[in-house]
Amino acid sequence: MAESDNKSANVLAQETAQLEEQLQGWREVILAGDRVLRWEKPWFPGALIGATTVVFLLIYYLDPSVLTGLSCTVMLLCLADYFVPTLALKVFGSNKWTTEQQQRFHEICNNLVKSERRVVGWWKRLCSLKEEKPKVYFASVISGLLAVAWIGQQVHNLFLTYLIGEFDFVPTVTLR
Amino acid sequence: MEYSISDHKPVIGIFTLELTKMQQTALVSLRAEGDWSADIDSMVLYQPLQLFPSSTWDWIGLYKVGFSSVSDYITYTWVKDDEVVFNDEVMQVFMSKEGIPVRGGECVLCYYSSNLRCIIGLSEPFKVQESKVAVAEGLFPERINGLDKIAGSEEF
């Protein structure tokens, strides 16, 4: 039985360890982001809302085409992926990496792995619904897409994205 | 089972109800692995005893002993989401610590099959331990001399 524990603990722990390794360069940034998302200081929510508002106002002002906007976003992500690890080392390098921080980082990676399993699971369930209950699948997918299409027509899409972005933070905090 | 009903006593009618099981025998054997508590993710071991139509919509639910309906679960986990195959026969599924009751108690696990629309496996009753973290934080009311008192709230 200890063997079975080790095996399953290994698979989950393996995935978590892999993710930890991949995100090694970003660990301080992730921890800082986690502190902000958990509203550790009272001014964090204000700063978060302010920053999101500035970003969306910028996008609204620049009004890029879809292709340009998409390419620029991906480009920014690539640049961040390249520069953040080296910059983080310079900025946070002097600070010691404590066991508490390592524990918190491990917990965050564990949660990410579990969330990824949830998302993949729901996707598989949706696909299997097509085979098992085709009428339910058809009805729910079509009505869901119709609802989204209608909302998309009624509300300015950028504003909708902004609202979703803002209220994304609320469940993150209330669930803790 | 007998049930007596009447709209004009003393006239009564006696009805006998017999409920037949949807499944006569268990198709899956379930076991809770190790010590369960709300402090750690816990493990469920299950083994199909016969071939049955499994689906990604199957779930394993944690119930209190003496539960009265399928939807009366404390928490549940999707079987295929959190599965780790140990070998060809025995499968392990992990149950997240978030859903496990902090107070503990006698619980039982059930495997619900979505294709057969019924519970096809039941584990033995087992004890879920009290959460040590919650006890340390003083979240439980203590019983002293039969009176409830919130731990740590009274200072002498």
Domain chopping of chain B, boundaries? 28-144
pLDDT value for A89: 82
Q: Are B30 and B44 in contact (CB under 8 A)?
A: yes
pLDDT value for A136: 92
Do B33 and A125 count as a contact with CB atoms less than 8 A apart?
no
The per-residue pLDDT string of chain B (156 residues; one tens digit each, 9 = 90 and over) reads: 556 676 766 777 788 888 888 888 889 999 998 889 888 888 899 999 989 998 899 999 999 998 988 999 999 999 988 877 667 788 888 888 888 988 889 999 999 999 999 999 999 999 998 888 878 877 766 554 555 444 444 444
Summarize pLDDT for B55-98 with one digit per residue, the tens. Answer: 899 999 999 998 988 999 999 999 988 877 667 788 888 888 88
Does the CB of A131 have a partner CB in chain B at under 8 Å? Answer: no
Q: Tell the CATH topology of B28-144.
A: Immunoglobulin-like (2.60.40)
pLDDT value for A9: 55
Task: Give the gap in angstroms from C-alpha A123 to the nearest C-alpha of chain B.
Answer: 10
pLDDT value for A7: 52
pLDDT value for A57: 92
**B57 CB neighbour count, 10 Å cutoff:** 18
pLDDT value for A135: 93
Q: Which residues in chain B have Cβ-Cβ distances shorter than 8 Å to A120?
A: 81
> What string of DSSP letters covers chain B?
-EEEE-SSTT--EEEE--PPPS-SS-SEEEEEES-EETTS-EEEEEEESS-----TT-EEEEEETT--STT--SEEEETTTTEEE-SSS-EEEEE-TTTS-TT-EEEEEEEEETTTTEEEEEPPPEEEEPPHHHHHTT-SEEEETTEEEETT----
Task: Give the gap in angstroms from C-alpha A43 to the nearest C-alpha of chain B.
Answer: 27
The per-residue pLDDT string of chain A (176 residues; one tens digit each, 9 = 90 and over) reads: 444 444 555 678 888 899 999 998 888 889 988 888 888 888 888 888 899 999 999 999 999 899 999 999 999 999 999 998 888 888 877 778 889 999 999 999 999 999 999 999 999 999 999 988 899 999 999 999 999 999 999 988 888 888 888 887 666 655 54
Do B114 and A8 count as a contact with CB atoms less than 8 A apart?
no
Question: Hey, which residues 36-65 in chain B have their CB within 8 Å of chain A?
Answer: 43, 45, 55-57
> What string of DSSP letters covers A93-147?
TTS---HHHHHHHHHHHHHHHHHHHHHHHHHHHHHHHHHH-HHHHHHHHHHHHHH
Does the CB of B34 have a partner CB in chain A at under 8 Å? Answer: yes
pLDDT value for A146: 96
Q: Whole-model pTM?
A: 0.75
For residue B10, whether the previous peptide bond is cis, meaning omega lies within 30 degrees of 0, is yes
pLDDT value for A2: 44
Nearest to A114 among B56, B57, B96 (CB): B96
Q: Which residues in chain A have Cβ-Cβ distances shorter than 8 Å to B90?
A: 4
Q: Is ipTM > 0.85 here?
A: no
